[in-house]
Structure 1
Amino acid sequence: MPWTLRTEFTFDSAHVIVGYDGPCGRLHGHTYKVRMELSTDRLRPSEHVKRSIMVADFKTLKWAKKDALQGGLDHTYLNDLAELGDDTTAEVLAAYLHRHTLQRVRADLPPGDDGADLKLRVTLWETADSSCEYWE
């Protein structure tokens, strides 16, 4: 695909991995680092520019860095997210970020464009040296 839009950001959240026999089974937090990579073979308009000159808006890819009260994940208790529940591993969270980011990107597309050509890769670092990638 000729275009790949990349952005990175961080957010702070807490969680417990329920049933984990060790320190991760207790309440703890992380400064998560996220890389979003959205690829496509054509450019599109966005909410802020009506000409077809963007892969997507960077703001759309960075939704999760917003405060929890603004619909993001910053300063959330991840176990309170009904979709995650007790499953708050890096693997599950990376898939959650992927799903919700694609939903937001596709919601901004013009009528009749299903965004089937859009490919998203999410990399989530839980610590400086431990990460998980998710893509379809």
Structure 2
Amino acid sequence: MPWKLTTEFTFDSAHTITGYDGPCGRLHGHTYRVRIELQSDRLRPSAHVKRNIMVADFKTLKWPKKDVDAGGLDHAYLNDLPALGDDTTAEVIAAFIHHETMRRVRFDLPEGDDGADLRLKVTVWETPDSACEYWE
């Protein structure tokens, strides 16, 4: 694929891993670091520009960085999010960000474009040296 769009950002959130026998079973927080990589073999328009000049809009990819009240994950108690519930491991968070990002990218596609060529990989660091990657 000729284009790979990459963006990185952080967000701060708290969670509890329900049923975890140890400190992670108690309320605690992280500064999560996220890398989103989106590949495509062609350029498209976005919600903000109607010409075929983007893989996707960086604004669309950075949705998790927004405050929880604005639909993102920043300053959220992750266990309160229905899509995550009690399963708030880095693996589940990475998969959630992947699926929601693809939903948002596909929403911006022009009519008749199913986005079949799009390939997305999400990496979530829960700590500076512990990360999870998710892709399909």
TM-score interval, normalised by the smaller of the two chains: over 0.9
Where in structure 2 are the equivalents of 1:75-90 lying within 5 Å?
75-90=75-90
Q: Does 1:29 align with 2:29?
A: yes
Match status 1:93 vs 2:93: yes
Distance across 1 between alignment mates of 2:50 and 2:123: 30
Separation of aligned partners in 2, 1:24 and 1:122: 23
Matched residues, number: 136
Deviations 1:21-74 (Å, cap 9, x if unpaired)?
Answer: 000000000000000000000000111111101000000000000001111000
Unaligned 5+ residue runs, structure 1? none
Q: What is the correspondence of 1:27-66 to structure 2 with a 5 Å cutoff?
A: 27-66=27-66
**Which amino acid is 1:126 matched to?**
E
**Hey, what's the Cα distance between the residues in 2 that align with 1:64 and 1:84?**
14
Q: Taking structure 2 as the reference length, what is the TM-score of the superposition?
A: 0.99
TM-score, normalised to structure 1, is 0.99
* Unaligned residue ranges in structure 2 (runs of 5+): none
Cα distance in 2 between the residues matched to 1:50 and 1:27: 45
1:130 aligns with 2:130: yes
Structure-2 separation of matches of 1:21 and 1:133: 24
**What letter is aligned with 2:73?**
L
